A and B are shown apart, each in its own frame.
Chain A
Amino acid sequence: MKISIKGIGVLGGFGAGLAMLEQALIHPKKMATTVSMESSKGQIEVPALLADTSDLASYVEKRALRRAGHYIRMTLLSSLYALKDAGMLETGRRRMGIIVATGYGATCNTFDFQHSMIDSDDPCGSPTKFANSVHNAAAGNLSLFLNEMGPNLSVSQYDMSIPSAFMCALQWLKEGRVDTVLVGGVDEYCKVLGYYWHNRYNGNARKGNETSLNALKHAIIGEGACFFVLTREEDGVSPYGYIEDVQMGNFLRGRIRLPESTIYFLGADGYSQREESYGDIIPARARVASYTHVYGGVPIGPAFDIAIAALSVRSNTIHGSFQNPAIDSDQLNMVKKDEVLGSGRICCLKLGADGAFGWLTVNSQKVQVNSS
């Protein structure tokens, strides 16, 4: 069975929509804004790649969004882009499942609810903020908004949230539970995260080896949403290619068998603990690229890499990689300028905390799908 990518919707610090993402890849520029917050030591400033959902007004009446926070809005807009791209915005959705991955969940509502609890000295938190603070607020509202009654799943596995969501999407398609899956991820910035990241990585960065310190200097907090429409595809051609493989595991507790003859997109965003290991586990001479500067450090980052891989398949071009200090470029064979996508296959690899790994391979050719 072949799984094709029928549509993609993206939203992040680079802008809203695939065209903006593509522009950011072709013409790299400084996109981070600065977020300020008070602390007892004075004002803290945190660079951040933040998403703007104002385009949602083109699709949804304002009244329908009055209770929807940023987390839900990002999910909706990105999903609507993906459905539109797949030609399924109004019709054509048949037996569709929804899977939403998130690393942090609805952090703004989570902390707003706590704030209302603390503020009111306990008993009177806001019911809307509580209901919208649960991780599945995004997926639930998506099914409500789209009037989709199929299976609906939310998963949260830190940096591995996206591989686990795709693994499940492929299972559903293989089992015939659904004909289409709207799968993707969302994570939002909040001030508590800004404070944490400032302390962890910028202001009071931990001491480590040179690579780690270099990595920390480029790390920028990100937020956004990225969704895909996947279908089983026996006939026809997908401009974005096909999902060949999804794998998850832990390279400290078991083997990691990476695919050969592929280009690697590395999700080295400067924050994960194991970024030095990319150089150790990538096959020798393999071509690698990293685009984390476009979307920032965010648990659902691998979704953006998958979108960039699909765009590369569509344009048959691998864009020049960001010179990423988080990975040792002497050890890795970086793509420095735009190249033709030769092998037709891209592996999006993420290494996470404690040796966790997840990867997904996009192939321009139809292939039988694997997952484990």
Chain B
Amino acid sequence: MMSMRPVAIAGIGCLCAAGLTLRQCMDSLYAGKRHPGPPTRFPFKHKFSFPVFEIEKDFFPEDRINNGNLLRTSKLAFTATLGALDDAGLTIENLRQLKTGVCIGTNVGSSMNNEAFYRDNTEGCDPYIAPVDRFLISNPTNSIAAEFGIGGPCMTVVNACSAGSDALGIAASWISSGLCDAVIAGGADELYRVTYTGFKSLFINADSPCKPFDAERNGLNLGEGAAVFVLVSERLLRKNGLSPRAFVLGYGSASDAYHFTKPRPDGKGLILAIQEALRTSGLNSSDLAFVNAHGTGTRDNDLIESRVLDEILPGIPFISTKGYTGHTLGASGAIEAAFTIASLEKGRIPASIGFKTPDPELPASPVDSNTEINGRAALSETLAFGGNNAVLVLGTGEN
């Protein structure tokens, strides 16, 4: 792929267990605060529940939306979208008159998995079909487009845990090719009993707050949240006198073609994705200030990522922020892209919370304290079920 022109990010909205705004999140990260706990929004009958990172507070701005009858994932996406528009200084009226698209990554927000409906159906209770009706029109992409009256292309990316990164990469391509003037893009996912039980069935939930890259790491914690970006064309920037907050500089993705739920031992898929992202950005590895790793806290993921980073990006500091947020699945790529940009802006990366003891099997370890960085570009990577690897190169607004 040829190198791509930098695509401007006019605004960012982000919420997760670390905070209800990007600023709150970064304050928590730099202060080393995290708030894991047992799930409170759904019942779980097992004698022991695994910690999660839940958004406990009311976050949804009922007064700013016409249709409040949304799935929780859509509410998360919608709230992040409002944050991104506010951050950009744009109103939806600005975007409605333009060729604006919506591209959101998710898992739960696109799954027909209403448990109450299914339970009633299997028990012969003839449930009302309203939940299925709602599912059929209200994934987060559609919810945003419908609420804001957006008439451009709409796409929901369902690439499991790399969906948020892929959505941003695809949205950047819509801008750079002239398909859209603006794109509302990002990722969103809610904590849900089905995914909670599903990850438990795979034996990769940690029984304590997760410890990415640590010698004692024993699995991941699930989380929830959303991050949404307003990507805009150069024409729109000029027309509205906007100054870009950041840029998508490069994007790459590749498959492991190895195993559906385990990363490829030689990390070749991740390496290909990193190489493509760097190639499209036109940057060298020496231009990177840091890497925001996927770093889930599972034995396999962290081992492969550490090996790959040591092999192709040696000496570049890296972090995992999942210790603050849990694994937010389809939202994680977008949330971590937001953290990456905010860290570049501050010139400082937060400590990888949960990491204390280096693992002798891992050739490289993340930073364990808040660390000053130099540079205007960084890389954010995600790995996913299905063997997907997606990598973004992000830059600050001075680019």
Contacts and interface: CB of A to CB of B under 8 A. Distances in A.
Contact of B125 (A40, A110, A117): A40
B194 A140 contact: no
B104 to A, nearest CB: 10
A124 interface: yes
A141 interface: yes
Contacts of A41: 126
Interface stretch (B131-139, B208-216, B296-304): B131-139
B151 A250 contact: yes
Interface string B240-262: 00000000000001111111110
B387 interface: yes
Interface in A179-234: 191-192, 195-196, 199-200
Interface in B1-23: 1-2, 4
Interface residues of B, number: 77
A248 to B, nearest CB: 4
A69 interface: no
Given A40-B124, A154-B157, A114 B113 contact: yes
B356 interface: no
B373 interface: no
Interface in A309-365: 353-354, 356
Interface residues of A, number: 75
Given A39-B126, A372-B153, A131 B261 contact: yes
B151 A253 contact: yes
Contacts of A196: 129, 132
Contact of B1 (A39, A152, A177, A249): A177
Given A151-B254, A354-B137, A136 B121 contact: no
Interface in B119-175: 119, 121-122, 124-126, 129, 132-133, 136-137, 139, 141-142, 145-146, 149-160, 166, 170, 173-174
Nearest to B132: A196
Contacts, number: 227
B201 interface: yes
B45 A140 contact: no
Given A124-B201, A150-B254, A134 B385 contact: yes
B107 interface: yes
A333 to B, nearest CB: 28
Interface string B219-257: 000000000000000000000000000000000011111
A143 B113 contact: no
B156 A156 contact: yes
A293 interface: no
Contacts of B261: 131
A123 B199 CA distance: 10
A149 B142 contact: no
A110 B386 contact: no
A191 B133 CA distance: 16
A367 interface: no
A20 interface: no
Given A40-B125, A125-B197, A177-B1, A135 B151 contact: no
Interface string A37-52: 0111100000000000
A126 B166 CA distance: 28
Nearest to A152: B255
Given A149-B268, A250-B145, A371 B158 contact: no
Contacts of B158: 102, 105, 134-136, 154-156
B153 A167 contact: yes
A56 to B, nearest CB: 18
Nearest to B46: A123
Given A40-B125, A153-B170, A168-B155, 11 more contacts: A105-B110, A127-B198, A131-B261, A134-B386, A140-B255, A157-B139, A157-B142, A167-B155, A176-B2, A192-B117, A195-B129
22 contacts: A40-B125, A41-B126, A98-B255, A110-B111, A127-B201, A130-B199, A134-B160, A135-B107, A136-B385, A136-B386, A140-B388, A143-B387, A149-B255, A150-B255, A156-B156, A157-B139, A157-B154, A167-B179, A192-B132, A196-B132, A249-B152, A356-B154
Interface of A: 38-41, 98, 102, 104-105, 107, 110-111, 113-115, 117-118, 121-127, 130-137, 139-141, 143-144, 146-158, 160, 164, 167-168, 171, 174-177, 191-192, 195-196, 199-200, 248-250, 252-254, 353-354, 356, 371-372
A-B pairs with the 9 shortest C-beta distances?
A140-B386, A254-B151, A253-B151, A130-B198, A135-B158, A123-B46, A122-B45, A143-B255, A127-B201
